[in-house]
Amino acid sequence: MAKGQFLSHHQQKIVRRHYEHQDTILLQRLGELVTELYLADSPKKTETLWKRVDKALAKTSAKDAAVRSVLAARDVEGLARLVNTLTKGG
């Protein structure tokens, strides 16, 4: 932070909760990306969404081989299964 800027106690609690629930936020974002990929109507939008999926999956605990196979095949259903297993703690 810049010099002289401090967070109030209330703001500190908000930031702390955000980082405590970061995995839940990330999984929700991945679920929303799956939905957007199903509904994508142009190749350009689809490519942009897959780039966002790649960045989000890099932050998860998913196995590298599973992530690479889903991204290489551009398999939306495989991505949905992967997100489901991550949500269930697998």
How much is the pLDDT for 5? 77
Q: Rounded to whole angstroms, how far apart are CA atoms 39 and 36?
A: 5
The percentage of the chain sitting over the pLDDT mark of 70, rounded to a whole number, equals: 94
Model pTM? 0.81
Which of 1-5, 28-32, 70-74, 78-82 has the weakest average pLDDT?
1-5
How much is the pLDDT for 4? 64
Q: Which residues contact 42 (CB under 8 A, 6 or more apart)?
A: none
Query: Is the pLDDT at 64 greater than 90, yes or no?
Result: no
How much is the pLDDT for 1? 52
How much is the pLDDT for 63? 84
